[in-house]
Every structure is written in structure tokens, then in C-alpha cells.
Amino acid sequence: MNRYASPLGFGLRLRLMLTLTAVAIFPIACVSYVIVRDEVRNVTRTIDFEVRNAALAAQARFARLLDQRELQAVAAASSPSLRRAIRLNETNRLEQFATRNEVLLEIDGRQYGRHLANAVTAPVQLVSGGRDVGSVVAQLPVDETTLQRVTPATDNGVRLAFVSRDSPEPGGTRSATLPLGGTVGIRAYLPRDIESSRTHDAYMRVAEAGLLALLALMLLTFVLARPLLRTFRWTEEQASEARIDALTGLANRRAFEEVLAAEISRAQRFEHQLAIVLLDLDRFKQINDSFGHAAGDVMLRSVSHLLTSLARQGDTVARWGGEEFVAVLPETDLPGARRFAERLRRTIEAHPVGEMRTTASCGVATMLPVDTVEALLAAADQALYEAKSNGRNRTETAIRTSSSAVA
């Protein structure tokens, strides 16, 4: 064997490896950059979710506390001693009654009891002798004690504060403000130092992982890098196309069912409310017959834009098929879902597309604790059928019990 062959072969292999590595650096670095960017974006989305979830939990707890105060006010309004004091115009007894029951009485233009300047109120009508004489006002103070009672027992660094609903969001801080009553809102926010720490940790984790992956790919997989990247991009595009309706750009039925299954699981786990709205355009076939299918497609795209503009952040709107659309509404009770459906219906009715006009029928259903995807959709579909049967251009709600969901 030629003793010079081995050093020469090693040199060729080394130069080839360095050449291939130099060519591989740019595409691999681009992929690493995309991964780093997406990871940091995921951290930001997680922070936004935690902040909004904390605000929603605090809002729900505050509403329950106010409901308790309102129930106390209702009980006070039906008290025989209060009615007797009103009938006899015993102002001292009225004052004592208001103080003892921690309510504010407003009777014939006069107030009895302590008026809390910083509180959310819930008035209960007071009737005596067949006439409206005033109200019993439940008051929930907006103070540190109430804030502690509505603060969820979590340790993720999110802070809560009562603020004016018109006050601007603090700059440089991830926050979410939700209304409570009057001009008062609850704001959940993550302090800057915690947000910066999480973002920095995400950068470091991804940077370390990306560097190791880059070194491994440069040394081992240059030949496969380009076809692998091409395959990855093709797979990603195919997955995206499989989940999006080509005509409207909304989520398609398959994607919606996946989202709904995940939202049902989350609602059951955290005992949150969940609602869906199934919407069908009325007499859509007449539009196709009168203006053509191309015009019908324009109408469907216009309706999809209206639905997207009216949906909240966190809601999911999808094309269910044909001229049917569906929306999943997390953290929404039946009255709230019905208001949303009515807003959709009125907006569609008020926005013609050229000479084309249409209306919509809506079916609304809320999740029961034992619901499945099929059961919840079936309830909304039945409500939609009733809306169609009752004359179209209306909203019907599914009245359900746990036994009906099991059946």
C-alpha cells in the first residue's frame, strides 16, 4: 500500500466535509432561526393565555361574589320587617335595617345605609303595597379584601388589580383587562421582570438546542438536509391546506372538530363554560340560481369576513359545509352565546353584497359536563332546525339536561 495514500485520502475527506459544512450552514441556520423565533412566540402566547385566563377567573369569581350579595339583597327586599318599616315610614328602623343587612336602601328618593363610593352595585326592585317604592342595592367593594378573594390560587407570577375600564394598558407589560361593572374592570398582568426572565430562558434553551442540532446536522446530514427541508415544507403546507377551507380561509370541518374536542376537554378539566353557534344562510340556493355560483362564492367569503370580524380573540370560526358556519365560544354561557349569535344574524342581514341579500338562522347550544363533540353539535343542529322551522332569520337555543346529553 502506498504510504502517501492514507494522508491524501484523509485530506480529501476533510476538505469535502468542510465544503459540505460551509454549504450546509446557511439553510440550517435559517431553520434554527425560525425555530428560535417560533419558540419565543410560543412563550409570549403562553404568557398571554395565562394573563387572560387569570383575568377570566377573577371576573368569574367577582361575578359569583356579586351574585351572592344580590341574593342577600333579594332576601332583604322580601323581609316583613322592612315592609312594615316602609309602610309606617320608620326612618330609624330603615337605617338600622340597611346597616344590619349591609345593603343600601333607596326609598322614595332617600337613601338609608352606608353608600360605598368604590363599589360595584346590583339594585333589586322594592315593591310595597303594589307600587314601586325604590330598591335594595347590593354593594361589592372594589378594595384589597375583594381582590384577594377573587385572586386564583396559582403561582405563575400573574398579578391582579382593579382599574378603570377606560385606563390604558400599561406599556411593556403583558396584560388583559375585563369589565366587572360600571366603569370598573379587573386587570391581570405579568410584571416586566418575570416576562423578561421567561423570554430570556426561552432564548437560552432554544439557542443551546439549536447550536447542538446545527453541529450534528453539519457533521452528519448534509446530503439529506435539502430533501429533508423540502419534505418538511411540503408536509407543513399539506397539513395547513388540510385544515383550512380553500374558499373562505376559515378553519374547515376537520380542524374545527379538533378544536372543539380540545375546548371540551379544557372546559371539563377547569369547569369552564363552553358554547357553540351553528349558522346557516337562508335560501342560499336562490342566490346561486339567480346570480350564479361565482356570486354565491363571493357571498360566502363576505359572510366569513363578517364572522371573523365579530369573533373574539380565542373564539374559533369555521365553515361547516356548504352555506353553514360554526363558531366555538370558550368561557361563554347560554345568554352570552345567544347575544353573539344575534349579533351575527343582524350583521349578516344588514350587509348586502351588491344586489345580493341574505339572512341567517342560528342554533345555539352550551356544553353539559358529560358532553362529547357529537352531542354538543347535535344539540346546536337541533336548535338550528327549530330556527329554520319557525320561519328562518332567527336564533333558537337548545334547552338541555344532563339526562338528554347522556341519551
User: Which residues are known to be catalytic?
Assistant: 323
Residue 21: what residue type? T
Q: How far apart are CA 64 and CA 47, in angstroms?
A: 26
274-281 and 360-366: which strand pairing? antiparallel
3-state SS, one letter per residue, for 7-75: HHHHHHHHHHHHHHHHHHHHHHHHHHHHHHHHHHHHHHHHHHHHHHHHHHHHHHHHHHHHHHHHHHHHH
Q: How far apart are CA 213 and CA 191, in angstroms?
A: 33
Helix H or strand E encompassing 402: helix 402-406
Q: Where are the alpha helices (DSSP H) in 127-170?
A: 144-150
Integer CA distances (angstroms), 334 to 211, 212, 383, in order: 51, 51, 13
* Single-letter amino acid code for the residue at 73: A
233 DSSP 8-state letter: H
The 10 Å Cβ neighbour count of residue 154 is 11
Long-range contacts of 258-264 (CB under 8 A, 24+ apart): 259/316, 259/318, 259/328, 260/316, 260/328, 260/373, 260/376, 260/377, 261/373, 263/316, 263/328, 263/330, 264/367, 264/371, 264/372, 264/373, 264/376
For 237, the 3-state DSSP assignment is helix
